[in-house]
Chains A and B, each alone.
Chain A
Amino acid sequence: MRPLDLYEKDASKKVTIYFEGKALEAYEGEKLPVALLANGIYWITTSLQGRKRGAFTFGPLPVIVNGVKNIDGRKTLVKDGMRIERQNYGEFQEAVEIDGSKGVLREVVDVAIIGGGIAGIGATLELQEYLTVALIEERGWLGGLMSLKSTIQEGFDEEPKKVIEELTSQFNENVKVFKGTIALGVFDEGEYFLVPVVKKDQLIEIMAKRVVLATGAVENILLFENNEFPGVFRLDFALEVLNKWGVAPGKRVAVVGRKPERIIPELEKWNIEYIVVPNPKRVEGEEKVERLIDTNGNVYEVDAVIVSDYRLPDINPITQAGGKLKFKWGYYVPVLDEQNRIREGIYVAGSAAGIKPHYANFLEGRLVGAYILREFGYEATPAVYKEKLEEYEPEPMPMQRIEFKDMNLEDVQICGCDVNLKKVDDVVKKGITDLQIVKRLTHLAMGFCQGRFCLFNGALLVSQRTGIDMGKIDLPVARPPLKNVRMKVTAVRE
């Protein structure tokens, strides 16, 4: 067993990989950062400004694989003999092979559902009886955040993995599932919506009469010093390494953030030693987290930090598709009509519409499915789902205060692209409160994640420094592509 393995892996799949020249044990089919983590390696890449970075919080993960630079480490599965080296963000592959374009594939369906979490699954099940569906999921599996949990969730009576297996086994021939597939955006072509998606560098144009954005939520990024250092885990990544891969985030971990209960049962289940630190100030270490210091000056020797805080709807797919936002429950949510639409033809379901239990998201998926069936003239009973859903008011997020005084703001990363809190604060202190200008002057929200993880904190900072109500701050609209795509993929011409 490797140092952080939680159990013995399938020996028949054992392979050897080399990281910075050193031979390591890995297992065929494992994700690269997980294989490295199991071997105790956290630092994988280096930002433009020389900050060490790992795989499990925000920011991209370019690595050199078998001599080829700028490969996305998070999407790389290990293979026997694979050689991996660290690189700096700015390095790229100068000599490229021109393998010609793969061309475009096309799919015509009634409904395109973006997001294969529990809401997307619910919508699919509702629609499949009468309509054809394309279910698009970025991860390599369905079930979203719920599939990463191991404890029974409210409203379901089995383990999440089982629930998802059972639900997806009911999919019929009307359903095309696209796993490991990113959607570039939703484009209104008049007669239909065009949803271009990318699966393994193949461009697929999905033409659909209706679109469901079941695009989920993102983890709130906590602002403390070195909050992107190797060894800091976003909650969804911590759950993934534990429950999908059977690897511990560390031997002794600190849980920070306002919702420790989201991770504690999982840590206890795996017998991982943890401490809860509600007020983190700084993490430190050589190549990875070695200690956490809280605002009272207490020092905790740990080798990983899990941020277990609130979640926020991912607003990018909403605004790109033409939706408007409002500030409600302490975060930004799409403005929806009485049928959960941001505009005619485009529906929103699940945590993209508001943070609530998985079961409520499932109901909401079924609800929008029912609305669409109605629109197409089929029998459906949205009222039943609507009534049940009304029992679940979305969870409010309390307003957080950024502790400017006590922190070295240069060490606090607001965004994965070397934008620190000081840079943004300096601009806001000059009296600039329009996030469009802040964005231009600091590069906030202009990087790999398109503001997915940093716009909220940018708005929070403006609000806190100026007293402007969060609801009055105008958030920049997301532009395509919704997820980063290599230029060769879209370089097609017919």
Chain B
Amino acid sequence: MPHKELPDKSEIVIIGGGIVGVTLAHELAKRGEEVVVLEKRFIGSGSTFRCGTGIRQQFNDEANVQVMKRSVELWKKYSEEYGFSFEQTGYLFLLYDDEEVEEFKKNIAIQNRFGVPTRLITPEEAKEIVPLLDISEVVAASWNPTDGKADPFHSTTAFALHAEEMGAKLYEYTEVKEIIIENGEIKGVKTNRGVVNTGIIVNATNAWAKLINAMAKVPIHIPIEPYKHQAIITQPIKGGTVKPMVISFKYGHAYLTQTNHGGIVGGVGYEVGPTYDLNPSYQFMKEVSYYLTKIIPALRELLILRTWAGYYAKTPDSNPAIGRINEIDEYYIAAGFSGHGFMMAPAVAEMLSDLITKGKSKLPIEWYDPYRFERGELRNKALQMG
């Protein structure tokens, strides 16, 4: 996007041009709102750029299941309308003992209640879906064929393009330096390229959310910290070899799937932080190789091409903070997605747009209440991969 002049003012300013900021701008623009996105680098350059592609509805609480059900509907709708790839190739959780099976039965019951067609399948059925799996220790699997994957960069770019067509304005290489507040009211933001006057700010900066909250002097504590998570990609192999996202909690909280380009992409729960460092570590390469080859032994002979790192912006209960900060008129936050923000983005955009434009949402936005940390009301830990 060209370096056009910054506008003097906008009704709404979204700070952060990742998938969350961009889908939000897209939804608000669609509703006829005047919206500007300020991104310090390029659109999709943060964690979105480094993200692992997965989109799932298999969560363990009502709120996340409902939100993700809606999100998948939106992924389907927009991928068809805008022509980016979203494949419903499913998510397959491999289970290794009775305890895991019992837990997943509970999760599946919640999922089924809201119309997510997850079912418990046998190891043999799992092997039919991914023939290369080693099922010798698997006792069952949780399978939802309507989960899927999309290319994070291509989808973000598509949402950005259509947001602009509907009148949203996206500014790259524009970094917010200061938030102007007078008498508890938002007046505008100061950037490296000038001031934009506005009455409404959304903090959609995820890993950097605490920095923006500090600029706005948000009076409540919203604990979001950046953690280094890493990923690996192998040489490309023939398409369709590993269609779904395969998860194994037993083996290192590992996830793996095949990208559009043919490489096997994956990660494990190996976490470093809090930190803003993004150098891939050797320890990770060893861990991820060990675990992924346990799940699919044929990976042993594949070449590792590259490893990289990105942030999980984590909260203590692995759920984001989404909502309005009442003490500052009008400041909103949508951050702290704890490793599953990409998949949530379209529904979060809808939910937050409802909140901004109507004051409430049909989706259970209160689950992500930014005040819950102060009140000591942490949620059940959301299922987090990697």
Chain A residues in contact with chain B, CB under 8 A?
48, 60, 70, 88-96, 98, 184-185, 187, 194, 196, 322, 417, 431, 434, 436-437, 440-441, 443, 446-448, 450, 479-481, 484-493
Q: Within B128-161, which residues are at the interface with A (CB < 8 Å)?
A: 132, 153-154
Interface contact B153-A479, CB-CB below 8 Å: no
Contact among A90, A185, A440, A493 for B282, CB-based, below 8 A: A185
- The residue from B153, B290, B303 contacting A484, defined by CB atoms under 8 A apart: B303
Interface hits, B304-323 → A, CB 8 Å: 304-308
B42 close to A (CB within 8 Å): yes
The answer to whether A484 and B235 have CB atoms under 8 Å apart is yes
Do A484 and B285 have beta carbons less than 8 Å apart? no
* CA gap between A484 and B306 in the complex, in Å: 8
Q: Which of B262-302 contact A (CB under 8 A)?
A: 262, 279-282, 285-287, 289-290, 292-293, 297-302
**CB within 8 Å for A94 and B262 given contacts A434-B42, A479-B307, A490-B286:** no
Residue among B2, B154, B281 making CB contact with A187, cutoff 8 Å: B281
B42 touches A94 (CB 8 A): no
Number of chain B residues whose Cβ lies closer than 8 Å to a Cβ of chain A: 40
Q: Which residues of A contact B49 (CB under 8 A)?
A: 436, 440
Residues of chain A contacted by B301 (CB below 8 angstroms): 70, 92-93, 96, 486-488
Complex Cα spacing A62 to B20, Å: 41
For B287, what are the chain A residues with a Cβ–Cβ distance below 8 Å?
Answer: 493
Contacting pair B289 A447 (CB below 8 A): no
Contact partner of B236 (CB less than 8 A), chosen from A89, A436, A490, is A89
* Contacting pair A194 B282 (CB below 8 A): yes
A492 proximity list for chain B (CB < 8 A): 286, 289-290
Main secondary structure of the interface of B (DSSP, over half): mixed
B154, B235, B298: the one contacting A448 at CB < 8 Å is B235
Main secondary structure of the interface of A (DSSP, over half): loop
Instruction: Identify the closest chain B residue to A94 (Cβ).
Output: B298
Contacts of B2 in A (CB 8 A): 431
Residues of chain A contacted by B292 (CB below 8 angstroms): 487, 491
B308 proximity list for chain A (CB < 8 A): 479
Q: Is the CB of B285 within 8 A of A480?
A: yes
26 sample A-B contacts, Cβ–Cβ < 8 Å, listed by A number: A48-B236, A60-B235, A88-B238, A90-B239, A92-B302, A93-B301, A96-B298, A98-B300, A184-B285, A322-B279, A434-B42, A436-B42, A441-B153, A441-B154, A479-B308, A480-B307, A481-B306, A481-B307, A484-B235, A487-B300, A487-B301, A488-B300, A488-B301, A491-B292, A491-B300, A493-B286
Q: Which residues of the other chain, B, contact A98 by a CB distance below 8 angstroms?
A: 297, 300
List of B residues within 8 angstroms of A322 by Cβ? 279
Q: Are B302 and A493 in contact (CB under 8 A)?
A: no
Given A90-B238, A480-B285, A493-B290, A486:B297 Cβ within 8 A? no
Top 5 nearest A-B pairs by Cβ distance?
Answer: A488-B300, A491-B289, A90-B238, A484-B303, A490-B289
B214 part of interface (Cβ distance < 8 Å): no
Knowing A431-B2, A484-B235 touch, does A92 contact B282 (C-beta < 8 A)? no
With A90-B262, A484-B235, A492-B290 given, is the CB distance from A479 to B300 under 8 Å? no
A450-B305, A484-B305, A488-B300 known, 13 other contacts, Cβ within 8 Å: A48-B236, A90-B237, A95-B298, A184-B282, A187-B282, A446-B261, A481-B307, A486-B304, A487-B289, A487-B292, A487-B301, A487-B303, A491-B293
The chain B residue with its CB closest to the CB of A450 is B306
Find out whether the CB atom of B298 lies under 8 angstroms from the CB atom of A481. no
Answer yes or no: B45 CB below 8 A from chain A CBs: yes
A98 to B297, CA, bound (A): 8
